[in-house]
Amino acid sequence: MAMFVMLTKLTDEGMKTLRKHPERIKEVNEEVTQKFGVKILSQYAVMGAYDFVNLLEAPDNDTVVKMAIELGSRGTIRTLTMPAIEIDRLIQDLKELGA
């Protein structure tokens, strides 16, 4: 499974939804697991340019794109998603390139 970092920013509508139904966060997490096979490994509310930082595990890039489009189409969040490579794997890949 591939790793991804997803940064999310709530829209005005998303802020209203979260304020009225804070449990919606967990419901969406369960939904993306069931519908897309994406596992939320960790999730943090943050202050700054984004409202949440999520560490995800997903089968592939295509799955994450579909999930991001589905979530974004609802009008409650905007996402920035980046593939993440474990440091040990990066080191090994670089060693294989040779010196």
| Confidence (pLDDT) at 98 | 78
The one-digit pLDDT tens for each residue of the chain (99 residues) are 999 999 999 999 999 999 999 999 999 999 999 999 999 999 999 999 999 999 999 999 999 999 999 999 999 999 999 999 999 999 999 999 875
pTM of the model: 0.88
Domains of the chain as residue ranges with CATH: 2-97 (3.30.70.920)
- Please report the pLDDT score of residue 54 as a whole number: 97
Locus of tokens 């960790």: 42
The closest alpha carbon to 66, from 39, 26, 36, 31, belongs to: 36
At 95 the three-state DSSP class reads helix
H/E stretch holding 84 reads strand 77-84
pLDDT of 99 reads 59
Length of the chain: 99
